Amino acid sequence: MNYVHQIPDYVVLGLTRGSMYALIALGYTLVYGVLQLINFAHSEVFMSGCFGSYIVVHAVVGDGKALPSWAVPFVLLLGTLAGALCGAAIAWALERIAYRPLRRRGAPKLAFLISAIGASFFLSNLAGKLFNRFNGNSFPTYFKTDRVLFTVFGADVRVLQVIIVLAAAIIMVALDRLVSRTKLGRGIRGVAEDAPTAALMGIDIDRTISMTFVIGGALAGAAGFLFGTAFSFSNTIGFNQGNKAFAAAVLGGIGNIRGAMMGGLLLGIVEALVPPLSFVGIQWTDVVSFVVLVLVLIIRPTGILGERLGRAA
Tens digit of each residue's pLDDT (9 = 90 or more) over 295-309? 888 888 888 887 665
**Which pLDDT score is estimated for 33?**
84
- Extents of the domains making up the chain: 2-312
> Does residue 193 surpass a pLDDT of 80?
yes
**Which pLDDT score is estimated for 313?**
39
**DSSP at 255:** T
**Which pLDDT score is estimated for 237?**
80
How would you class 146 by CB atoms within 10 Å of its CB: exposed for 0-12, middle for 13-18, buried for 19 or more?
Answer: exposed
- pLDDT above 90 as % of the chain: 33
Does 136 or 274 have the greater pLDDT score?
274
> Does residue 187 surpass a pLDDT of 50?
yes
**Which pLDDT score is estimated for 170?**
93
pTM of the model: 0.89
d(CA 218, CA 224): 10
> Does residue 286 surpass a pLDDT of 80?
no
Does 231 or 173 have the greater pLDDT score?
173
d(CA 199, CA 259): 27
> Does residue 18 surpass a pLDDT of 90?
yes
> Does residue 311 surpass a pLDDT of 60?
no
**Which pLDDT score is estimated for 312?**
42
**Which pLDDT score is estimated for 125?**
85
Q: How confident is the model at residue 3 (pLDDT cuts 50, 70, 90)?
A: confident
With respect to CATH, is domain 2-312 assigned 1.10.3470? yes
> Does residue 244 surpass a pLDDT of 70?
yes
> Does residue 310 surpass a pLDDT of 70?
no
Query: Which whole number is the average pLDDT over 33-52?
Result: 89
CA atoms within 13 A on the CB side of 234: 10
Measured between alpha carbons, how far is residue 63 from residues 146, 231, 256 in Å? Answer: 17, 16, 41
> Does residue 270 surpass a pLDDT of 60?
yes
> Does residue 81 surpass a pLDDT of 90?
yes
Quote the mean pLDDT of the chain.
85
Alpha helices by DSSP H, the chain: 2-35, 42-61, 72-94, 100-104, 109-131, 159-181, 183-200, 205-230, 239-252, 257-273, 285-299
Does 243 or 128 have the greater pLDDT score?
243
Phi-psi region of 67 (alpha: psi -120 to 50; beta: other; left: phi over 0): beta
Task: Tell me which long-range contacts 188-195 makes (C-beta under 8 A, separation of at least 24).
Answer: 188/30, 188/33, 188/34, 188/212, 188/309, 189/309, 189/310, 189/313, 191/34, 192/33, 192/34, 192/255, 192/308, 192/309, 192/310, 193/309, 193/310
